[in-house]
Structure 1
C-alpha cells in the first residue's frame, strides 16, 4: 500500500481529481479498474493559479488570487484522498500531485504517460451548469490515451452488467472494439456490440426486404473484426445488435444495462473531421453508465 506525492510510472491510471462529486466517483471507478489490472493510480489536481473566477481550491473565494496557504490546502486535500484510497485498497499504489496550469492542457500533457485517464464529467469551477464540463470534453478530444468519463449519478449501480460498444466500421470504433473486449474479459462479463444504420441523407429509409438486406450488410461488416478479437478473447460472450436509427439514442439506451459504454472519439459521417464526434459528446452527457472514449495515441 502506498500513498505518496510525486509522479508515478508510465503505465498508470491517471485521475483528474478536484474533490467534486463527479471526481470522487471517477476515483472510485479508477480504483476498481486498478484492482483488476494491477496498475498504479495517480491523482492529479490541476491548480489554475491565474483563474480569477470560479472555484480555485478549499477556502479560496471566487476572484481571489490564490496564495501559498491555498496551495497547501489543495496539497493536503489531494494527499488525503490518495492516502484514504490506498488504505481502502491494500496492495494498490496510489500517488498524488498538484500541478499548475490550465486543467485541460495539463491533463492532456500527462495523458501521454498514462495507460488510462479517468475524469468526472464536470467539476468545480465556472462551468458547473453545463451537462458535461468543458475540461472533460476538451481532454477527451485531445488525450493521448483512452479516457473514461464518469458522472456521479451514472456511476451508481453501474458496476454490474455487461460492456457495450458502438462500432460503425471507422478506425476509431475498431480501436474501441478492442478496448471493449479487454474490459469485458477483465470484468468477466458479456460484450454487447451495437451498430446503428441510417440511409444516406436525402433518401427514404428502406423497408421490408430492403431494410433487412441493409441491416444484414452492416452486420456482415462486423464479422472480420469480431472474429479477430474473439480469437484473442475466446471466453467473452458476445451479442450483436444492428438497428435502424441514430447512433446516440441507440447507445444511450444500451447504457441503461451496461457497466461501461465504449466508443471511438469520432466515427463516420459529416462530423468526422471534429476531434470529438457529436455522438461521443452526447454520450458523455447523457449515458447511464461511465463512458470510455478511445482514440489512437
Structure 2
C-alpha cells in the first residue's frame, strides 16, 4: 500500500514532532499523503467544587478546541515547510492505542513517537508505542527524540529466515533504494563448537534471500553480515550507525501466540535510530 497515507500519532510533544518530521521526509521520497492523528480520550471524571454546584467533567469543550487548533496548526506548518506534500490533521475520540490500531488498517505506514507528554494532550507512552506496534495492520516506525539516525548511515535489517523477516527485508530494501543509501543485512548466529560449521550454510541462505532485491535494485549497495550473539544486541549495536533499523514483528524464536517479538520490543526501547516493525498484512 505504497499509495496509502502515512498516519502519524501526534500530541504536540517533542517526540511526536520528531515523528512528524520523519514522516514528512518519508513522504518526500514516496509521494504519500500525510495525516496527523491526535487521539483525544475524554476523561469522565467528575470533580466536586462546592455546595450547590454541579460536578464538572474534565476535559471540557475548551480543551477540545485547543486540541483542534493544535492539530490544525501543526498540519499547516508542515504544509508550509513541504509545499509539494498533502498534509492533513484530524482529531479522533477514544483510547489512543485502540484508535491508532483501527486507523492503521487503511494506512500505508504508521509513525509514532516513543513517548508523549502528560495532561489532556498525552497521547503516547512507551507502553502505547509497543502496543500499537504489536497490533497495527501496517508497518510501524517508532521515532524517539535524540535518535534521528545518521543521515548517511545505512538501512539495517535483521533477517532470520522467518516469513516476517523476509517481509522486513523487502521493506528495508525499498527504503534504502529510495534514499540511495546502503542496505546492511544482519543475521545472528549462536556461538559454540558445532555452530561454526553451519555458518557458511546460513550465509548462503541469507544471500539467497537478498538476491531478488539485488536484481530489483541493481544500484543498491548491499552487505550481508553474520554476527555471533543475540539478535537484539546485534540490532541495537547496528542502530548506532544506521539511519533506520528494520525488523519483522516476530522472528523464528518467537512463541506462536506472540504478536511482537522480544527483539522488536527491545529495539523500541533502546535503539539509537528510528525502528521499523514490519509484518505481513
TM-score in terms of structure 1 length: 0.85
Partner of 2:73: 80
Distance in 2 (alpha carbons) for counterparts of 1:144 and 1:70: 31
1:46 to 15, 23, 39: 39
Partner of 1:206: 192
2:63 to 47, 50, 70: 70
Q: Describe the SS at the equivalent of 1:206.
A: coil
Kindly indicate whether the alpha-carbon contact (under 8 Å) linking 2:207 and 2:224 is maintained by their aligned counterparts in 1.
no
Partner of 2:22: 29
Q: Describe the SS at the equivalent of 1:152.
A: coil
Kindly indicate whether the alpha-carbon contact (under 8 Å) linking 2:153 and 2:242 is maintained by their aligned counterparts in 1.
yes
Structure 1 runs not aligned, ≥5 long:
1-9, 53-62, 199-204
Distance in 2 (alpha carbons) for counterparts of 1:242 and 1:112: 35
Distance in 2 (alpha carbons) for counterparts of 1:223 and 1:28: 34
1:251 to 228, 235, 238: 235
User: Structure 1 residues 272 and 214 mapped into 2: Cα distance closer, same or farther (>3 Å)?
Assistant: farther
Give 1:19 shift. Answer: 0.8
Partner of 1:134: 127
TM-score in terms of structure 2 length: 0.90
2:150 to 154, 158, 161: 158
2:214 to 230, 250, 263: 230
2:116 to 113, 120, 123: 123
> Is residue 195 of structure 2 the alignment partner of residue 197 of structure 1?
no
Partner of 1:241: 225
Q: Describe the SS at the equivalent of 2:147.
A: helix
Partner of 1:186: 178
Distance in 2 (alpha carbons) for counterparts of 1:285 and 1:279: 10
Give 1:251 shift. Answer: 0.6
Give 1:206 shift. Answer: 2.2
Distance in 2 (alpha carbons) for counterparts of 1:273 and 1:109: 20
Q: Describe the SS at the equivalent of 2:269.
A: helix
Kindly indicate whether the alpha-carbon contact (under 8 Å) linking 1:172 and 1:296 is maintained by their aligned counterparts in 2.
yes
Partner of 2:165: 173
Kindly indicate whether the alpha-carbon contact (under 8 Å) linking 1:266 and 1:272 is maintained by their aligned counterparts in 2.
no
Give 1:211 shift. Answer: 3.9
Q: Describe the SS at the equivalent of 1:222.
A: helix
Give 1:51 shift. Answer: 6.7
Q: Describe the SS at the equivalent of 1:258.
A: coil
Give 1:273 shift. Answer: 3.0
Kindly indicate whether the alpha-carbon contact (under 8 Å) linking 1:132 and 1:284 is maintained by their aligned counterparts in 2.
no
1:96 to 82, 89, 98: 89
> Is residue 4 of structure 2 the alignment partner of residue 20 of structure 1?
no
- Give the paired residue count: 266
Deviations 1:34-64 (A, max 9, x none): 1111111000000001375xxxxxxxxxx96
Distance in 2 (alpha carbons) for counterparts of 1:162 and 1:132: 28
